[in-house]
Chains A and B, each alone.
Chain A
Amino acid sequence: MGTYPKEMQESIERVEATRPARLAAQPARLTLPEQEALLQGFHPDHRAEGKRKLRVGPSWGDPVPHELADLLEAYPLLDPGAVDVTKPDCDVDVLVVGGGGAGTVAALWAHRSGIPAERILIATKLRHGDSNSIMAQGGIQAADKPHDSPAIHYLDVLGGGHFTNDPRLVRALVEDAPEIIRWHEDLGVMYDKAPDGTMSTIHGGGTSRKRMHSAKDYTGLEILRVLRDEARSRGIPVLEFSPAVELLTDAHNQVVGAVLWNLETSEYTVVKAKATVLATGGWGRLHIQGFPTTNHYGATADGLVLAYRAGAKLRDLDAVQYHPTGAAYPDQLVGLLITEKVRGLDAQPLNRLGELFVHPLEPRDVESAAFIRECAPPEKGGRGLGVTTPTGMIGVWLDTPMVDMIHGKGTFQRALSSIYRMYVRFDIDPTKEPILVYPTLHYQNGGVVIDEHGWTGIAGLYAAGEVEGGVHGKNRLMGNSLLDYNVFGRRAGIAAAGWAKKAAPASPTLAHVERYVGELKAAGVPPTRRAPLLLPEYRGERALARMVDLL
């Protein structure tokens, strides 16, 4: 099609020139010390100026990105004088805060554990299902093939997380994985399979076995819409456009529900609950260090803010996951996710000269650091071999035509139909031309501390999905987030149901918020800072910001 500008076109000719040799060779992997050196030198987490130590709360002294610290060290949005929390509008057994994957799974399993549908409530900020879960493209891991095992999966997860993960959580993750896949089959998820039912599985970055299950490159969408449909079949009530703005606690420091805010009518709803499951997702829309993001509009770290005020500990929030392959051209697509499955299907990352500069499937943080080193100017220690676009973006090539050359014509369109559709809209045919990519903010590696039942350590409060931490340590592998929300959504839903059957909540209060405000004042936090954020601000020039502020 030749829609790339002339300067980029010249680089594409070099990519084409090196392709025959690359098709014939096997790329080499980095050793652990080489990986470490790359991370130290070029991963954004290692820029000290990007973080500061928290000055209030249960994780006092822990370094987190400034963008998150500004929300944790902030006063409530809620005006305590405007709402009487002792008079609930609604009383349930299990309140699920967040209607993405983790929340939907938690609600389904609370129901299966004996809580009647009408005694459950899912409250969510946007629509039921609007979440990062629905956007996941590449796949879900499970060690269910004969030459694989949960123990091998365990080692891959630990190594990917640089051995910082909570072993109990990793064990739960890998042991439950095959059962989750079987449950999905029961519910009717259309996984990619051979005609005899054998799962089609491929590698992801950092896996030692081909255990990535997928549903084309709409894996997240396919799983989530089936779960949502099942929740509808079971009659589980959902309150949309109603984010939680504060948790409620009682005189015994138990969490006993939440205050919701109706985004459309600007009214509070007080929900009293015996058990509360926090499933609010991650932080991508905080645009940490100015990066564009792959994340959903509502990914603003609300759950971290709420849980922290209620006394929950946080962990590993100094580790931000930048997905190596965010789109870098054309402008309209900047930051959007190009699934790791493209590299799983053997497309290679190349510099301006058409050279392969890193193995395509290193763990995500290592791969991202390698891309940044390739693009960074020599005066900053980089190699200066990125490709610059007419609007000043920079990136490396992902040699997408290799997919069909290696796996047969038609593979790309069949296995990567959403990516294909995305580029063809802009007259770029990824089966004929490479695409330009650069790391993009993708995932919150850490989060609220939980045990293997999703319990936060605070009576009545559970957490599941991206909001919790420990499963992935400092770096998550591809395919373990869909697995995480299913495993821990299920476990949190079961545990919440168990607690709800015996809990005796006293009258709801905002006492924990008052205590926290006292700490904020003592620490001298500027009174203008408010949280949770609920929605990012893109009005006016900010609509453009994500297109230009990358470098």
Chain B
Amino acid sequence: MNEVTVFIMGKGYRVPAGLTIMKAMEYAGYRLTRGCGCRGGYCGACATVYRLKGDYRLYADLACQTPVQDGMYIAQLPFTPAERPPYVLDELKPEGATLLALFPELARCVACNTCTKACPQKLEVMDAVQASLRGDIRQVAELTFDCVSCGLCTMRCPAEISHHHVWQLARRLNGAYLTPRAEHVQARVAEIAAGKFNGELDRLVRMTRDELVAAYKARQIEA
């Protein structure tokens, strides 16, 4: 088996090449509680920073998605404290000033782009900060849709912005207020409340297995 040496919080271990950082830590004997969640790149629990041999940069990525390299120095971030101001969506207006009023630290952005470089999802994080400052809620929502709230941008941000909370609010404002409602959903809810399907459902619930099988086979499948 091909092996590489990695340093987990400063301590060296030989692990098989090709493992992800997460599996390498487990191979080395760690039983993870913090720093491990969905193991598939969706939950943002496994934010990790690392350095490579002979390279001055501090890299950031998700431990479950990143293969180890020889000489890698690894430290997991168990948690990123981030400020979320109290708000209730129904009491907010989808206006440009809303984001800045709740997250005034947005104005401290110095456009250093460190957030973008830290993003494991390769999102245009700084562009989203700038869009927030301009009050362009829809653009913030679109730019940050793939955010997994790992907190790496927040940890690296010199302006101390709590990015993922800003994005969450922008997406909710966009979804609730700036996107037209589905009228067919409202109509169907009203039909159900009026009992339009009760007779048909009552009949289905009472059917024998054979009757159900026949009805199932007779379904028309939408092309």
- Hey, which bits of chain A sit against chain B, CB under 8 A? 29, 32, 126-127, 129-132, 134-135, 142-147, 149-152, 154-156, 158-159, 163, 167-168, 171, 174-175, 178-179, 181-182, 185-191, 193, 195-199, 203, 208-210, 215-216, 218, 220-222, 225-226, 229-230, 232-235, 241, 263-264, 294, 296-297, 331-332, 336-337, 417-418, 421-422, 425, 535, 537-544
- Hey, which bits of chain B sit against chain A, CB under 8 A? 16, 18-20, 23-24, 26-27, 29-34, 36-43, 45, 65, 67, 84, 86-89, 121-122, 141, 145-146, 148-149, 168-169, 171-177, 179-189, 192, 197, 200-201, 204-205, 209, 212-213, 215-217, 219-222
Contact B204 A421 (CB under 8 A): no
Contact A187 B145 (CB under 8 A): no
**Within the complex, what minimum Cβ distance (angstroms) separates A261 from chain B?**
11
Contact A188 B174 (CB under 8 A): yes
**Within the complex, what minimum Cβ distance (angstroms) separates B25 from chain A?**
8
**Within the complex, what minimum Cβ distance (angstroms) separates B64 from chain A?**
9
Contact A126 B222 (CB under 8 A): no
Residue of B whose beta carbon sits closest to that of A183 = B189
Q: What are some 15 contacts across the A-B interface (CB < 8 A)? A: A134-B37, A134-B43, A144-B184, A154-B204, A163-B213, A182-B186, A188-B172, A190-B175, A199-B184, A208-B221, A235-B86, A263-B33, A297-B36, A421-B41, A543-B27
Contact A179 B189 (CB under 8 A): yes
In the complex, besides A130-B45, A150-B197, A158-B216, 8 extra interface pairs with C-beta distance below 8 angstroms are A142-B185, A188-B89, A188-B175, A198-B184, A216-B145, A220-B42, A263-B33, A296-B37
Contact B37 A127 (CB under 8 A): yes
Residues of A within 8 A of B39 (CB): 296-297
Residue of B whose beta carbon sits closest to that of A209 = B222
Contact A187 B201 (CB under 8 A): no
Contact B37 A332 (CB under 8 A): no
CA separation between A32 and B215, bound complex, in Å? Answer: 13
Residue of B whose beta carbon sits closest to that of A425 = B65
**Within the complex, what minimum Cβ distance (angstroms) separates A262 from chain B?**
10
Contact A151 B204 (CB under 8 A): yes
Contacting B26 at CB < 8 Å: which of A151, A190, A221, A538? A538
Contact A129 B43 (CB under 8 A): yes
CA separation between A209 and B188, bound complex, in Å? Answer: 15
Contact B192 A150 (CB under 8 A): yes
Residue of A whose beta carbon sits closest to that of B61 = A425
Contact B172 A187 (CB under 8 A): yes
Residues of A within 8 A of B186 (CB): 182
Quick one: given A134-B42, A182-B186, A297-B39, are A535 and B31 in contact (CB under 8 Å)?
Answer: yes
Residues of A within 8 A of B122 (CB): 421
Residue of B whose beta carbon sits closest to that of A186 = B176
Contact A543 B181 (CB under 8 A): no
**Within the complex, what minimum Cβ distance (angstroms) separates A158 from chain B?**
6
CA separation between A143 and B222, bound complex, in Å? Answer: 13
